Amino acid sequence: ERGILVKVNSVLIPGVNDEHLREVHRAVTAKGAFLHNIMPLIARPEHGTYFGLTGQPEPSAEQLRTLQTACADEGGATGMMNHCQQCRADAVGLIGQDRGAEFSMEKVAATTVDWQAAVAKRTAVRAAIERRIALHSQLHHPTPLAPSSAQRPRAARGEPLRIAVASNDGRTVDAHFGHAREFLVFDVSPMGARLAERRALDRYCSGPVTCGDAAPALTGAVAALHDCTILLCARIGFEPWRALEDAAISPNSERAGEPIIDALLAVYAEWRDRLQGAAPPAGDALCA
Protein backbone atom coordinates (compact mmCIF):
# COMPACT_ATOMS: atom_id res chain seq x y z
CA GLU A 1 0.00 0.00 0.00
CA ARG A 2 2.90 2.38 0.73
CA GLY A 3 5.21 1.21 -2.04
CA ILE A 4 7.64 -0.55 0.31
CA LEU A 5 9.00 -4.03 -0.44
CA VAL A 6 9.28 -6.34 2.56
CA LYS A 7 11.72 -9.24 2.97
CA VAL A 8 11.13 -11.70 5.82
CA ASN A 9 14.03 -13.68 7.31
CA SER A 10 13.59 -17.11 8.90
CA VAL A 11 16.19 -19.46 10.39
CA LEU A 12 15.84 -23.19 9.75
CA ILE A 13 16.44 -25.16 12.97
CA PRO A 14 16.20 -28.95 12.41
CA GLY A 15 13.76 -30.62 14.74
CA VAL A 16 12.39 -27.28 15.93
CA ASN A 17 10.76 -25.43 13.05
CA ASP A 18 11.63 -27.38 9.91
CA GLU A 19 7.97 -28.37 9.40
CA HIS A 20 6.50 -25.14 10.76
CA LEU A 21 8.41 -22.94 8.30
CA ARG A 22 6.11 -24.03 5.47
CA GLU A 23 3.21 -22.58 7.46
CA VAL A 24 5.28 -19.46 8.10
CA HIS A 25 5.90 -19.12 4.35
CA ARG A 26 2.17 -19.32 3.65
CA ALA A 27 1.55 -16.56 6.20
CA VAL A 28 4.36 -14.45 4.74
CA THR A 29 2.87 -14.86 1.28
CA ALA A 30 -0.62 -13.97 2.51
CA LYS A 31 0.76 -10.77 4.05
CA GLY A 32 2.23 -9.75 0.69
CA ALA A 33 5.96 -9.96 1.40
CA PHE A 34 8.20 -9.58 -1.64
CA LEU A 35 10.86 -12.07 -0.57
CA HIS A 36 11.22 -14.83 2.03
CA ASN A 37 14.76 -15.70 3.09
CA ILE A 38 15.11 -19.07 4.83
CA MET A 39 18.62 -19.29 6.26
CA PRO A 40 20.38 -22.29 7.83
CA LEU A 41 21.11 -22.23 11.55
CA ILE A 42 24.82 -21.78 12.29
CA ALA A 43 25.43 -23.63 15.56
CA ARG A 44 29.09 -24.19 16.29
CA PRO A 45 30.58 -24.42 19.79
CA GLU A 46 33.35 -21.92 19.02
CA HIS A 47 30.73 -19.21 18.44
CA GLY A 48 29.47 -19.50 22.01
CA THR A 49 25.78 -19.33 21.09
CA TYR A 50 23.04 -21.22 22.92
CA PHE A 51 22.45 -23.69 20.10
CA GLY A 52 26.18 -24.08 19.50
CA LEU A 53 26.80 -24.99 23.13
CA THR A 54 23.80 -27.32 23.45
CA GLY A 55 24.72 -29.46 20.44
CA GLN A 56 21.86 -28.43 18.16
CA PRO A 57 22.66 -29.82 14.67
CA GLU A 58 22.84 -27.46 11.73
CA PRO A 59 20.65 -28.22 8.69
CA SER A 60 22.37 -29.83 5.73
CA ALA A 61 22.40 -28.14 2.32
CA GLU A 62 19.94 -30.79 1.13
CA GLN A 63 17.54 -30.09 4.02
CA LEU A 64 17.64 -26.36 3.27
CA ARG A 65 17.15 -26.88 -0.46
CA THR A 66 14.25 -29.30 0.10
CA LEU A 67 12.44 -26.83 2.36
CA GLN A 68 13.04 -23.90 0.00
CA THR A 69 11.71 -25.93 -2.92
CA ALA A 70 8.64 -27.01 -0.94
CA CYS A 71 7.89 -23.40 -0.01
CA ALA A 72 8.42 -22.22 -3.59
CA ASP A 73 6.00 -24.91 -4.79
CA GLU A 74 3.30 -23.39 -2.57
CA GLY A 75 2.96 -20.68 -5.24
CA GLY A 76 2.04 -17.07 -4.66
CA ALA A 77 3.90 -13.86 -5.43
CA THR A 78 6.43 -14.09 -2.60
CA GLY A 79 9.81 -15.16 -3.96
CA MET A 80 12.32 -17.39 -2.23
CA MET A 81 15.71 -15.78 -1.67
CA ASN A 82 18.30 -18.17 -3.06
CA HIS A 83 21.57 -16.26 -3.11
CA CYS A 84 23.35 -14.07 -0.58
CA GLN A 85 23.96 -11.37 -3.21
CA GLN A 86 20.28 -10.52 -2.88
CA CYS A 87 20.89 -9.21 0.63
CA ARG A 88 23.00 -6.26 1.75
CA ALA A 89 20.91 -4.71 4.50
CA ASP A 90 24.07 -3.70 6.35
CA ALA A 91 25.87 -1.88 3.52
CA VAL A 92 25.65 -0.35 0.06
CA GLY A 93 26.44 -2.54 -2.93
CA LEU A 94 26.83 -6.29 -3.31
CA ILE A 95 28.90 -9.00 -1.69
CA GLY A 96 32.42 -8.33 -2.93
CA GLN A 97 31.46 -4.88 -4.23
CA ASP A 98 31.12 -2.58 -1.23
CA ARG A 99 30.28 0.95 -2.42
CA GLY A 100 29.93 2.51 1.01
CA ALA A 101 32.78 4.98 0.42
CA GLU A 102 30.77 6.56 -2.40
CA PHE A 103 28.03 7.54 0.04
CA SER A 104 29.75 9.16 3.01
CA MET A 105 27.75 11.68 5.07
CA GLU A 106 29.71 14.54 3.49
CA LYS A 107 28.97 13.36 -0.04
CA VAL A 108 25.31 12.75 0.73
CA ALA A 109 24.95 16.25 2.22
CA ALA A 110 26.45 17.79 -0.92
CA THR A 111 24.31 15.77 -3.32
CA THR A 112 21.68 17.50 -5.44
CA VAL A 113 18.77 15.25 -6.32
CA ASP A 114 16.79 15.51 -9.55
CA TRP A 115 13.51 14.38 -8.05
CA GLN A 116 11.73 14.10 -11.39
CA ALA A 117 14.43 11.77 -12.70
CA ALA A 118 14.46 9.87 -9.41
CA VAL A 119 10.71 9.26 -9.57
CA ALA A 120 11.01 8.13 -13.20
CA LYS A 121 13.78 5.70 -12.29
CA ARG A 122 11.84 4.41 -9.30
CA THR A 123 8.83 3.82 -11.56
CA ALA A 124 10.99 1.89 -14.02
CA VAL A 125 12.54 -0.20 -11.25
CA ARG A 126 9.14 -0.93 -9.78
CA ALA A 127 7.86 -2.02 -13.21
CA ALA A 128 10.83 -4.37 -13.54
CA ILE A 129 10.07 -5.82 -10.10
CA GLU A 130 6.44 -6.36 -11.05
CA ARG A 131 7.58 -8.21 -14.18
CA ARG A 132 9.79 -10.45 -12.08
CA ILE A 133 6.90 -11.17 -9.72
CA ALA A 134 4.69 -12.04 -12.68
CA LEU A 135 7.42 -14.29 -14.07
CA HIS A 136 7.82 -15.99 -10.69
CA SER A 137 4.07 -16.65 -10.55
CA GLN A 138 4.08 -17.98 -14.10
CA LEU A 139 6.98 -20.30 -13.35
CA HIS A 140 5.16 -21.82 -10.39
CA HIS A 141 1.83 -22.09 -12.23
CA PRO A 142 3.19 -23.26 -15.58
CA THR A 143 1.28 -24.18 -18.71
CA PRO A 144 1.46 -27.96 -19.17
CA LEU A 145 3.00 -29.30 -22.34
CA ALA A 146 0.74 -31.07 -24.81
CA PRO A 147 0.68 -34.82 -24.12
CA SER A 148 2.18 -37.20 -26.66
CA SER A 149 0.83 -40.61 -27.59
CA ALA A 150 4.35 -41.90 -28.21
CA GLN A 151 6.50 -43.46 -25.52
CA ARG A 152 7.49 -40.74 -23.09
CA PRO A 153 11.13 -39.96 -22.23
CA ARG A 154 12.58 -40.28 -18.74
CA ALA A 155 11.84 -36.63 -17.93
CA ALA A 156 8.13 -37.25 -18.43
CA ARG A 157 8.25 -40.08 -15.91
CA GLY A 158 9.33 -37.88 -13.03
CA GLU A 159 12.85 -36.87 -14.01
CA PRO A 160 12.71 -33.26 -15.26
CA LEU A 161 15.11 -31.98 -17.88
CA ARG A 162 17.44 -29.42 -16.29
CA ILE A 163 18.01 -26.37 -18.52
CA ALA A 164 20.15 -23.33 -17.71
CA VAL A 165 19.32 -19.89 -19.14
CA ALA A 166 21.62 -16.88 -19.56
CA SER A 167 19.41 -13.82 -19.08
CA ASN A 168 20.02 -10.21 -18.13
CA ASP A 169 16.43 -9.08 -17.68
CA GLY A 170 15.07 -12.28 -16.13
CA ARG A 171 12.35 -12.46 -18.79
CA THR A 172 14.04 -13.32 -22.08
CA VAL A 173 17.00 -15.29 -23.37
CA ASP A 174 19.08 -12.14 -23.91
CA ALA A 175 22.54 -12.72 -22.40
CA HIS A 176 25.80 -13.60 -24.16
CA PHE A 177 27.30 -16.68 -22.49
CA GLY A 178 30.56 -14.87 -21.86
CA HIS A 179 28.87 -11.83 -20.30
CA ALA A 180 26.48 -13.72 -18.01
CA ARG A 181 26.90 -13.08 -14.28
CA GLU A 182 24.45 -15.80 -13.33
CA PHE A 183 22.50 -18.69 -14.81
CA LEU A 184 18.82 -19.30 -14.16
CA VAL A 185 18.45 -23.05 -13.70
CA PHE A 186 15.07 -24.60 -14.50
CA ASP A 187 13.60 -28.06 -14.17
CA VAL A 188 11.32 -28.67 -17.15
CA SER A 189 8.83 -31.52 -17.47
CA PRO A 190 5.44 -32.16 -19.09
CA MET A 191 3.96 -30.21 -16.16
CA GLY A 192 5.85 -27.07 -17.21
CA ALA A 193 8.96 -25.18 -16.05
CA ARG A 194 10.06 -24.48 -12.48
CA LEU A 195 12.89 -22.16 -11.49
CA ALA A 196 15.18 -24.31 -9.32
CA GLU A 197 17.89 -21.79 -8.47
CA ARG A 198 20.14 -18.95 -9.60
CA ARG A 199 23.84 -19.65 -9.90
CA ALA A 200 26.28 -16.75 -9.77
CA LEU A 201 29.58 -16.88 -11.64
CA ASP A 202 32.48 -14.80 -12.91
CA ARG A 203 32.13 -13.47 -16.44
CA TYR A 204 34.08 -15.39 -19.07
CA CYS A 205 34.37 -12.25 -21.25
CA SER A 206 35.79 -9.03 -19.78
CA GLY A 207 34.65 -6.73 -22.59
CA PRO A 208 32.82 -6.62 -25.90
CA VAL A 209 35.68 -8.31 -27.77
CA THR A 210 37.90 -9.74 -25.04
CA CYS A 211 36.88 -13.37 -24.59
CA GLY A 212 38.76 -16.59 -24.33
CA ASP A 213 41.61 -15.36 -22.12
CA ALA A 214 39.97 -16.25 -18.83
CA ALA A 215 40.34 -20.01 -18.59
CA PRO A 216 39.46 -20.22 -14.86
CA ALA A 217 36.23 -18.29 -15.47
CA LEU A 218 35.29 -20.60 -18.35
CA THR A 219 36.08 -23.65 -16.23
CA GLY A 220 33.94 -22.22 -13.43
CA ALA A 221 31.06 -21.47 -15.79
CA VAL A 222 31.10 -25.01 -17.17
CA ALA A 223 31.31 -26.43 -13.64
CA ALA A 224 28.29 -24.33 -12.62
CA LEU A 225 26.30 -26.17 -15.30
CA HIS A 226 27.47 -29.66 -14.35
CA ASP A 227 23.96 -31.03 -13.79
CA CYS A 228 22.32 -29.26 -16.76
CA THR A 229 21.58 -30.93 -20.08
CA ILE A 230 21.03 -27.76 -22.14
CA LEU A 231 22.16 -24.13 -21.94
CA LEU A 232 20.09 -21.37 -23.58
CA CYS A 233 21.86 -18.10 -24.36
CA ALA A 234 21.72 -15.27 -26.88
CA ARG A 235 25.26 -15.79 -28.19
CA ILE A 236 28.22 -18.02 -27.49
CA GLY A 237 31.74 -18.37 -28.89
CA PHE A 238 33.35 -21.47 -30.38
CA GLU A 239 35.65 -22.20 -27.44
CA PRO A 240 32.97 -22.21 -24.72
CA TRP A 241 30.65 -24.08 -27.10
CA ARG A 242 33.24 -26.83 -27.43
CA ALA A 243 33.93 -26.83 -23.68
CA LEU A 244 30.23 -27.27 -22.93
CA GLU A 245 29.84 -30.08 -25.45
CA ASP A 246 32.90 -31.82 -23.98
CA ALA A 247 31.05 -31.67 -20.64
CA ALA A 248 27.93 -33.24 -22.23
CA ILE A 249 26.01 -29.94 -22.10
CA SER A 250 24.23 -28.81 -25.27
CA PRO A 251 24.52 -25.04 -25.92
CA ASN A 252 21.62 -23.47 -27.80
CA SER A 253 21.51 -19.88 -29.10
CA GLU A 254 18.60 -20.41 -31.48
CA ARG A 255 16.10 -19.02 -28.96
CA ALA A 256 17.82 -15.65 -28.53
CA GLY A 257 15.36 -12.90 -27.59
CA GLU A 258 12.47 -15.25 -26.84
CA PRO A 259 10.58 -15.19 -23.54
CA ILE A 260 12.19 -17.67 -21.18
CA ILE A 261 9.06 -19.73 -20.67
CA ASP A 262 8.38 -20.06 -24.40
CA ALA A 263 12.00 -21.01 -25.07
CA LEU A 264 12.08 -23.61 -22.28
CA LEU A 265 8.89 -25.33 -23.36
CA ALA A 266 9.89 -25.30 -27.04
CA VAL A 267 13.34 -26.75 -26.35
CA TYR A 268 11.87 -29.37 -24.03
CA ALA A 269 9.37 -30.39 -26.73
CA GLU A 270 12.21 -30.69 -29.28
CA TRP A 271 14.27 -32.74 -26.84
CA ARG A 272 11.32 -35.02 -26.11
CA ASP A 273 10.61 -35.54 -29.81
CA ARG A 274 14.27 -36.37 -30.52
CA LEU A 275 14.33 -38.84 -27.66
CA GLN A 276 11.16 -40.51 -28.88
CA GLY A 277 12.48 -40.63 -32.43
CA ALA A 278 15.65 -42.34 -31.25
CA ALA A 279 13.73 -45.03 -29.35
CA PRO A 280 13.08 -48.24 -31.34
CA PRO A 281 9.45 -49.21 -31.97
CA ALA A 282 8.00 -51.42 -29.27
CA GLY A 283 7.73 -54.39 -31.66
CA ASP A 284 11.46 -54.39 -32.40
CA ALA A 285 12.18 -55.81 -28.98
CA LEU A 286 10.39 -59.02 -30.04
CA CYS A 287 12.47 -59.56 -33.19
CA ALA A 288 15.38 -61.99 -33.11
Distance of CA 209 to the CA centre of its chain: 27
Domains in the chain (CATH in brackets) are 7-99 (3.20.20.70), 134-278 (3.30.420.130)
pLDDT(206) > 80: no
Q: Using 50, 70 and 90 to split pLDDT, how confident is the model at 157?
A: very low
What backbone phi and psi angles, to 5 degrees, belong to 54? Answer: -100, 5
| Model pLDDT for residues 108-135, shown as the tens digit of each residue | 788 888 888 888 888 888 887 777 666 6
Q: How far is CA 44 from CA 53, 54, 57, 101, 178, in A?
A: 7, 9, 9, 33, 39
pTM beyond 0.95: the answer is no
Give the pLDDT confidence score for residue 137 in this predicted structure. 58
Give the pLDDT confidence score for residue 114 in this predicted structure. 87
67-91: average pLDDT: 71
Whether 166 contacts 263, CB under 8 Å: no
